[in-house]
Every structure is written in structure tokens, then in C-alpha cells.
Amino acid sequence: MDDECLEPFLAAWPSKPFKTRIVCPKKFPVVSYLQDLVVESYAETKKIIKMLEISAKHLCWGQTYSAEDFGTDFLEKYGWVELIGLRGQIKSKDIACGFLLLGPGIEYPKHSHEAVEVYVPLTSQTLWVQGDDDWISRPTSVPIYHRSLLSHG
């Protein structure tokens, strides 16, 4: 990925002193997979995953979908937490940043939206698809960029 794709995100990154808010901790079943991810992760991402595992009980985890969308099995292995943004502990109207957590055997459905996104896989089991391309394995810690309205999963 071209570093130019990251420039708008980094330019909008909040600076100290942060404007913060109190969020109500909320936990979903998918958080239980963090412990296994710490054990299986690479040295370059292990510290991030361990910090997420330690902090998980204090974070406000969310789900965008319902059981009617993809079933209860999907919801058991899906969740996200926003750290920076309109809902995160650090307020920002310009950028959102957080973690998407998917348990084993879950396919995150293809979708598109107006927001530009950058994902950074923290594990080696990451398969990804963009547009009409085939699913491919993505390397750990290499950013994946999605332009606005590009279908991805």
C-alpha cells in the first residue's frame, strides 16, 4: 500500500490534549478469542493484542449487525470497539480508529460504504476480498486500503 493512502488518516489524528468522553463498558462473546490470539500472534503484533486483551473489559464493544442479518453464530464471533471517533473514548469528528475482532471460521460479509478505510491485520489468518477479486491471504501488519464505496470483506 502506498503511504500516500495513510496521509489523510494521520493528518486527522487527534493531538494532545485529547478531548475525551466516558464510555460504558460493554462486552460481547467474541472478546473471549483474544486470549487465543495472544498465544498465536507474531512478535510484531503480540503486544498490541495483549494490550487489547487486558483492556477489553473496560471498552465499549459494539456490533453493527443483528441475528436477523447473519445469524447468532456470526454474532458470537464478531465485534468491534472504537477508540477514537464519534463513539470512542477520544473524541474526533474527522477520524475513527478501533479494532474489528472476528472469531475463527467467520466470513465478514462483503459490503461497501462512503467511509474510506484502512485495516491492519494483526494475525496471520487474514483472508480479504476487494471488489470482484478473489479472496487472498493478507500479511500481518501490512495495511489494507479501501477507497470510498469499494466493496470489501
pLDDT category, 57, cuts 50, 70, 90?
very high
Q: Please list, in sequence order, all residues whose beta carbon lies within 8 angstroms of the beta carbon of residue 67, skipping any fewer than 6 positions away.
A: 75
Q: Whole-structure pTM over 0.85, yes or no?
A: yes
The confidence score (pLDDT) of residue 2 equals: 56
Give the chain's largest Cα–Cα span: 44
Per-residue buried b or exposed e for 37-72, using 16+ beta carbons within 10 Å of the residue's own CB: bbeebeeebeeebeebbeebeebbbeeeeeeeeeee
Which of 10-14, 50-54, 75-79 comes out lowest in average pLDDT? 10-14
- Mean pLDDT for 81-90 is 95
- Mean pLDDT for 141-150 is 90
| Domains, the chain | 3-12+25-146 (2.60.120.10)
